Amino acid sequence: MLDPDALTPANPNERSILHWLVVNIDGDNIKSGTTVAQYLSPSPTPFQGPHRYTFLIYRQSRPVVPTQFYVTEMERANFQVTPYAEANGLTGPIAGNFFYEAIPGYYSSKG
């Protein structure tokens, strides 16, 4: 799960924030996987517009042996999913989805 709109949609200079990463999932049992980055709740910048939060699913051809676990905000900022996928033999993305999240009380002037 990534936030490609960090810090703000107009100025995404920390694109992408890593919000969640699990590898080595057996079938559809997420709990069987190895969590590389614990789930981090959405936290869009107040009054700067909604952020997209994206879920990307990749196919694994071999087990991933994590060389880093992403814990701090600094480690999660500017996460580059394509190089990570390539380095770990992942293909895709083969599926994905997203949602928008904004701080309550934010109203877009775009209608």
- Tens of pLDDT along the chain (111 residues)? 999 999 889 999 989 999 999 999 999 999 999 999 999 999 888 888 899 999 999 999 999 999 999 999 999 999 999 999 999 999 999 999 999 998 765 555 554
Q: Walk me through the domains of the chain, giving residue ranges and CATH numbers.
A: 2-101 (3.90.280.10)
- Prediction pTM value: 0.88
How far apart CA 78 and CA 14 sit, in angstroms, is: 5
- How many other CB atoms are found less than 10 A from the CB of residue 8? 16
Six-digit token string for 43? 């936290």
Burial 12-51 (b: 16+ CB within 10 A, else e): bebbbbbbbbbbeeeeeeeeeeebbbeebebebbeebbbb
